[in-house]
Structure 1
Amino acid sequence: MHVRPAGLFAKMAARYNADVQVEKDGDVVSGRSIMALMTLEATCGTVLRVSATGPQAVDVLDELSALVARKFDIPDEQ
């Protein structure tokens, strides 16, 4: 995951009272850490499993899902 998407993801995850975890190929990292997300080396099309626990777990997962669906609000290259 590049810096900008990792930053957007981590910033959104940190807004909620929930522990967000991101998994790729058995490696699990905090969804609140830009550096940890970048260590997953996820590229476009990589399958990631995102989970959350805590009072706002459902809310944060909904928001993160929407962010990913919008491709992190990054315009497509032409």
Structure 2
Amino acid sequence: MNKSEGEFVVGSELGLHARPAGRFAVLAGHYESEIEVGLGDEWVDARSVLSLLSLAAGRGTRLRLRAVGPDAQEAVAALGAILEESRESN
């Protein structure tokens, strides 16, 4: 089983608010791998918008991603890119 992990900095001025959290959760749902997002000792399901919002991750927050499954590396790379986006149009 493939495993992948990464650490990413939230780039959005408004942090991981509802719109990017929604995009993130939808994209996570397209992968077969089990994907979690971590902040400190707390890990949440990457497919749950409410769980992502519960992290209250503001700009500059370092979040960890971990995935286990056949597309783990691809998932971590794509989801990490969403976290690091600085644009507000999404």
Q: Does 1:39 align with 2:49?
A: no
CA contact (8 A) 2:24 2:46 kept: yes
CA contact (8 A) 2:17 2:53 kept: yes
Q: Share of identical aligned residues, percent?
A: 35
Q: Which runs of 5+ in 1 are unaligned?
A: none
CA distance in 1, matches of 2:46, 2:79: 10
How has the CA–CA distance of structure 1 residues 38 and 15 changed in structure 2, closer, same or farther, with 3 Å as cutoff?
Answer: same
Normalising by structure 1, report the TM-score.
0.85
Equivalent position of 2:39 in the other structure: 24
Kindly tell me the number of residue pairs found equivalent between the two proteins: 74
| 4+ aligned runs moved over 3 Å, structure 1 | none
Normalising by structure 2, report the TM-score.
0.75
